Amino acid sequence: MAKYRSSIERIPRELSQLAFNARVLQEARDESVPLLERLRFLGIFSRNQDEFYRVRVANLQRKVSERRGIRGETAATLLSEIQRRILRDQSSFLRTYHEVLDRLDDRGIRIITERELTDEQSAFVADFFDRKVRPYLTPIILRSAERALSLDERNIYLGVRVLRRKHRRPTYAMVDVPTRSAPRFVRLPDERDGTTIILLEDVIRHRLREVFSIFKVKSATGFVVKLTRDAGLTLEGNVKDSLMQRVEASVKRRRTARLVRLVYDETMPDDLLTMVCRGLQVSDPRTLVPGGRHHNFKDFISFPRPDRNLQYEKWPSLGIPELDRSRSVMRAMRRRDFLIHTPYQRFSYIIDLLREAAIDPKVRRIRVTLYRVAKNSGIVRALVNAVRNGKRVTAVVELTARFDESSNIEFADELSREGVTVVFGPPGLKIHSKMGLIERSERRKRSLYAFVGTGNLNEKTANIYADHFLLTAHRGICEDIRQLFRVIRRSYKSRKTTHLLVAPWSLRPRLRELIRAEIERARAGEPALVEAKLNHLSDAEIVDLLREAVDAGVDVRLIVRGTFAIPADEFAARNFRAISILDRYLEHSRILVFGNGGDPLYFLASSDWMPRNLSRRIEAACPVLDPAIQAQLRRYLDLQWRDNRKARKHDSFGLNERVSAAGPGRPAQESIYRWLAERDERADGAAPTESSSAATASPAASAA
């Protein structure tokens, strides 16, 4: 497939990602956000920055090292701008962190260092250290001439400078902070009846002389170091090796991959920093990022929460009354389609559907795609029990889901051992579609029940990701899903679908047609609309088409959480709006709407508008045909557009200006929850329709 060349300038993806993380930092700085939630946003900011270095910065550094003419020079320039922005954000991050600590202190929650321990607390820490920490500590002595240290990037380390009696030169060492064996946050006795916490690295600092007790130690000082490695996945190996073996080998290679960042305590003595850099073979100064006393702030996502008043108000998970009243999810689906709004409504309906299928004697076959699943997954248990009950079960597992490769290998192996048919899909195509299909014998005929969604089948992330799942028995949609499962397993099968838009085959051409149809309507003086809610937008062809649509007078509305490549300032027009919403839940659903001459077309999609999603992955955009569910999506989007508290405007400079908060307003997520709660209380939901499950007309036909 030829690479599309854009005719307009686009914002580099890397800078757009940094702008998104700056929005996360804005939430941490926002004084209207509860204090413990501000601390959580600092943890999310840190986690995002880690991933940014492992993927985006690592990729740019590879381009520079390859020295491929202008591309390498451009990458070097971009790296310099990235470094400037990251240092700016890091400074803001540290100021915010210390501000939040001061505010927490005012509310009786203190994070102290080893220097602030009382006698009682010091005795507690000494006992905790001896029982829980010391058994896991084995220092690595740093010497001038030796091979590069092979340190695990998942950990943090103390770079230690030891002064010994009768020795003029210090001894240098690295000490692993064992956060996977001991808690990162240790709660201490508190005479004030408050909450006092010390971090694990400060516990070790308090007893650092004990760690080096074989020496005659005058002093031992420790400074936290954190390293980040290139997370690129290269599927090298013998052609006889299975995909699973090659992915497993590549994941192992990450442990010793090239360093792309070394964050260190800026108070670290120069001689110790030199020895640490020598031990890790760090030579590029751009790799060094000065920081504060503590690192790995991603752990603060799980910071203890002793005070409910310092957290978001808890929103109980909502139900769907008709599903709650029905003894069978499939029986309810025979009457009409259902839309689950997670996390506002319970994700467990998906698990209930699979459990029901696992024990229903009339169910013959179950097929699902699995991209990321939770530990101790109810989805996986339902599939395993279905096999034990004699069902044929196929699980399409994506082994190369970034940073979940190891866990996916483990549960793929578990499923295989239990008798599930595990499929990895066609070579070179990552399977990112989110769907499942159940085949049931009814009156000697095969009936199909399906779910298709915008998010992963993961009950953990379903509690914090705003996604949508459609439950449907629509014959045409279910047959398309059945056909797609056949193509995934045997790529030579026909890829033709009537309702689903499937990447990398029909999705991009159909999007092109739909946008061009709106352009023609606008040029003819008719109302025209292109509306999309996405996670990322960077595809060159789509960006050009949207520019053409704006120029033609199409009403273009974009809600894009993360990467946004459009230079929005150049698109300044009354018929163009682009915002990002950041709040307590991660906005993750993909919703597409096309005006279609007054009879709007609605789609739920697994894909963003990026080259990888449209050209290198198996993705599905599913039409929403039930008018009642279309009305739900319309209301959902309208509430997002009314947000004047958590919405930011996209721009070319990453300024993240908030949408005007003049007048009464409410965050979109709160509005959505209250709307769904009112529907739940009325216990009526959307009225059942005959057209949903019986209709077979395709959106392609209605668009024509």
Q: Determine the pLDDT at residue 568.
A: 67
Q: In the CATH scheme, what is the homologous superfamily, with its name and number, of domain 112-304? A: Polyphosphate kinase middle domain (3.30.1840.10)
Q: First and final CA of the chain: distance in angstroms?
A: 27
Q: Determine the pLDDT at residue 425.
A: 80
| 8 Å CB contact between 353 and 378 | no
The CATH architecture of the domain made up of 321-489 is: 2-Layer Sandwich (3.30)
Give average pLDDT by consecutive 10-residue segment, the chain, 704 residues: 58 92 96 96 96 91 68 78 90 94 95 95 96 94 76 92 91 94 94 90 96 91 94 63 70 78 94 93 86 90 92 95 95 97 98 98 97 92 97 93 81 92 88 97 95 96 97 98 94 85 97 98 98 96 95 97 84 86 97 98 98 96 98 98 94 85 82 93 50 36 32
Orientation of helix 405-417 relative to helix 243-254, angle to 10° = 150
As a whole number of angstroms, the distance between CA 69 and CA 81 comes to 19
Q: Determine the pLDDT at residue 3.
A: 59
Strands (E), 565-676: 576-581, 586-587, 590-594, 601-605, 617-623, 647-649
Q: Determine the pLDDT at residue 5.
A: 56
Q: Determine the pLDDT at residue 254.
A: 72
As a whole number of angstroms, the distance between CA 564 and CA 582 comes to 14
Q: Which tokens go with 695?
A: 């209709």
Q: Determine the pLDDT at residue 146.
A: 64
- Find how far residue 140's CA is from the centre of its chain: 35
CATH 3.30.870.10 fits 501-703, yes or no: yes
| 8 Å CB contact between 530 and 602 | no
Q: Which tokens go with 289?
A: 């990022």
- Phi first, then psi: give them for residue 58, nearest 5 degrees: -60, -40
Among 206, 294, 295, 432, which one carries the catalytic annotation? 432
Q: Determine the pLDDT at residue 704.
A: 29
Residues 6+ apart with CB under 8 A from 224: 156, 157, 158, 159, 177, 201, 264, 265, 293, 294, 295
Do 501-703 and 321-489 have the same topology in CATH?
yes
- Find how far residue 279's CA is from the centre of its chain: 33
Domain boundary assignment for the chain? 15-107, 112-304, 321-489, 501-703
Q: Is 98 a catalytic residue?
A: no
CATH number of 15-107: 1.20.58.310
